[in-house]
């Protein structure tokens, strides 16, 4: 997401295509960390134990379980959130000029919530495919791929069940995208204003790292709760986001809400960097091949 006036001339459809390509690229690179993060959130084992257990299952291939769901998630969620955010940012700058940090965060939150609602079904299936390894054999879903998972849930649990955990997913997305997209845009502007870093990959890289730190601290608790709700396999009705937070705090301690923070950041930082740098570079490539007259 470039903040230049030139980017305002990128067609809306191009913003969405660029968002999808950037998200898929980042997901393929960071998917193994996503697998470890999810498995760590639903168990009390150490990162080392989880990594060894994952590798023992089926070697390196085990770190790419659920990849089909993850890619489809990016094609729905990230395509939507980046496309919507860039479009809203362009419209805002065209009509109001300079946008303040609060406005950028607000636009990111709106884009994140809309994108996450669209992508919730694929996110649900991703969680279940990755978490299967931690369940007894008789309770495993054994989805072959994301498509079989969608039809299985639709058939056995109902169409609405595809949006199970939508509220915490949208809550997480609002926090993540507000912090990530808003901070990234603001950080780029601040760094450019210093005059020490020109607009390019170095600027994009540093801004993405800055935004990922704030994003992770703010979103880890909600991401933990979302994962546990979507992986709920007990006979009782799954709890809501507030009761789950209260229960985790009481039974595991307040600090446990940030369980897996290092792993989360290890995945989020490169994911943010790759996504944002790809998006900006693709915007620049657009003008190279489709120059504005």
Residue closest to 164 by CA, chosen among 228, 246, 249 = 228
**Look-up of token digits 């709106």:** 110
pLDDT tens string 36-59: 988 888 887 888 999 999 999 889
Q: What is the DSSP letter of 182?
A: H
Distances (CA, A) of 83 to 74, 120, 190: 12, 17, 23
pTM, two decimals, is 0.79
Name the domain count of the chain.
1
- Say how far apart CA 181 and CA 1 lie, in whole Å: 8
pLDDT at 120 over 90: yes
CA neighbours within 13 Å on the CB side: how many for 259?
Answer: 24
The CATH number linked to 187 is: 1.50.40.10
Domain of residue 23: give its range: 5-289
Per the prediction, the chain carries an average pLDDT of 88
pLDDT band (50, 70, 90) for residue 292 = low
Evaluate whether 173 touches 226 at the Cβ level (below 8 Å).
no
Q: What does the pLDDT look like over 93-117, one tens digit per residue? A: 888 888 899 999 999 999 999 999 9
Distance in angstroms (rounded) separating the CA atoms of residues 100 and 107:
11
Q: Choose the weakest-confidence range: 20-29, 75-84, 111-120, 264-273.
A: 264-273
Structure tokens at 110: 């709106």
Q: Of 45, 66, 178, which is closest to residue 128 (Cα–Cα)?
A: 66
Among 9-18, 167-176, 225-234, 279-288, the range scoring the smallest mean pLDDT is 225-234
SS3 269: helix
Q: How far apart are the first and last CA of the chain?
A: 21
């Amino acid at each position: 997401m470039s903040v230049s006036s030139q980017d305002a001339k990128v067609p809306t459809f191009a913003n969405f295509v660029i968002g999808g390509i950037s998200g898929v690229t980042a997901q393929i690179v960071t998917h193994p960390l996503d697998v470890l993060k999810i498995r760590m959130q639903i168990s009390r084992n150490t990162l080392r134990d989880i990594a060894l257990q994952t590798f023992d299952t089926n070697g390196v291939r085990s770190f790419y379980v659920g990849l089909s769901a993850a890619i489809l998630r990016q094609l729905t969620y990230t395509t939507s959130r980046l496309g919507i955010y860039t479009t809203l940012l362009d419209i805002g700058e065209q009509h109001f000029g300079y946008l303040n940090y609060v406005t950028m965060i607000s636009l990111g939150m709106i884009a994140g919530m809309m994108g996450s609602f669209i992508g919730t079904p694929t996110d649900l299936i991703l969680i279940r495919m990755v978490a299967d390894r931690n369940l007894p054999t008789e309770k495993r879903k054994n989805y072959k791929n994301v498509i079989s998972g969608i039809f299985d849930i639709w058939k056995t649990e109902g169409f609405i069940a595809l949006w199970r955990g939508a509220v915490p997913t949208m809550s997480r997305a609002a926090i993540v995208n507000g912090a990530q997209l808003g901070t990234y845009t603001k950080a780029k502007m601040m760094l450019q204003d210093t005059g020490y870093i020109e607009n390019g990959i170095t600027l994009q890289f540093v801004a993405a790292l800055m935004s990922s730190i704030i994003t992770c601290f703010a979103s880890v608790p909600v991401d933990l709760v979302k994962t546990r709700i979507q992986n709920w396999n007990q006979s009782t009705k799954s709890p809501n986001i507030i009761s789950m937070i209260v229960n985790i705090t009481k039974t595991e301690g307040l600090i446990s809400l940030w369980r897996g923070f290092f792993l989360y950041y290890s995945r989020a930082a490169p994911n943010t960097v790759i996504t944002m740098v790809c998006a900006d570079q693709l915007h620049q490539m657009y003008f190279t091949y489709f120059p504005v007259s």
